[in-house]
């Protein structure tokens, strides 16, 4: 997933540079067309990211396997809700996942080593996983 986001951002940057050169060279009517095409291209990029994310979540929901994991780290985001880094094992390899906890009072009660429920796709446990909930 990270590869596709990086690839898409590089493509978007290169396209913006190319369209920037074209708008300086072409006549005013063509510049307006290029601006509209740029907006459409940018929107299509974000739509592709959205649908890819939805596809991954649907795959986890439909083909996911439940397993137990543990909380290994608590993080406070500067502009995001606090979240947990969790860890689980599959085929003797360790993988990480995340769980956002919007309520800061509940977040403070969580301790390192607490159990969590994780759902993952067995073919792609590193990229297709989701921490479902904290186990009490």
pLDDT number for residue 69 = 92
Identify the CATH number of the domain in which residue 94 sits. 2.40.50
Number of domains in the chain: 2
pLDDT number for residue 79 = 82
Co-location of 57 and 69 in the same domain: no
Co-location of 35 and 71 in the same domain: no
Co-location of 56 and 70 in the same domain: no
pLDDT number for residue 18 = 72
Alpha carbon distances (Å) from 50 to 11, 34, 58, 109: 17, 24, 12, 33
How many residues are listed for the chain in this entry?
136
Co-location of 71 and 48 in the same domain: no
pLDDT tens per residue across span 101-134: 888 888 888 899 999 999 999 888 888 888 888 8
Domain limits for position 16: 2-61
Co-location of 56 and 90 in the same domain: no
DSSP secondary structure code for residue 127 in this structure: T
**114 phi/psi in degrees, rounded to 5:** -65, 150
Co-location of 117 and 101 in the same domain: yes
Co-location of 54 and 112 in the same domain: no
DSSP secondary structure code for residue 125 in this structure: T
pLDDT tens per residue across span 14-72: 777 777 776 666 666 777 777 788 788 878 888 888 888 888 888 888 988 899 999 99
pLDDT number for residue 1 = 53
């Amino acid at each position: 997933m990270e590869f596709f986001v990086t690839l898409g951002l590089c493509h978007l940057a290169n396209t913006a540079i190319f369209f920037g050169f074209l708008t300086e060279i072409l006549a005013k009517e063509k510049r307006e067309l290029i601006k509209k095409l740029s907006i459409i291209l940018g929107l299509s990029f974000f739509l592709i990211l959205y649908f890819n994310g939805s596809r991954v979540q649907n795959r986890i929901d439909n083909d996911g396997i439940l397993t137990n994991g543990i909380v290994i780290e608590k993080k406070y985001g500067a502009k995001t809700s606090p979240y947990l880094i969790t860890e689980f094992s599959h085929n003797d390899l360790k993988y990480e996942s995340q769980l956002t906890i919007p309520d800061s009072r509940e977040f403070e009660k969580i301790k390192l080593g607490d159990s969590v429920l994780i759902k993952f796709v067995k073919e792609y446990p590193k990229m297709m996983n989701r921490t479902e909930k904290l186990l009490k």
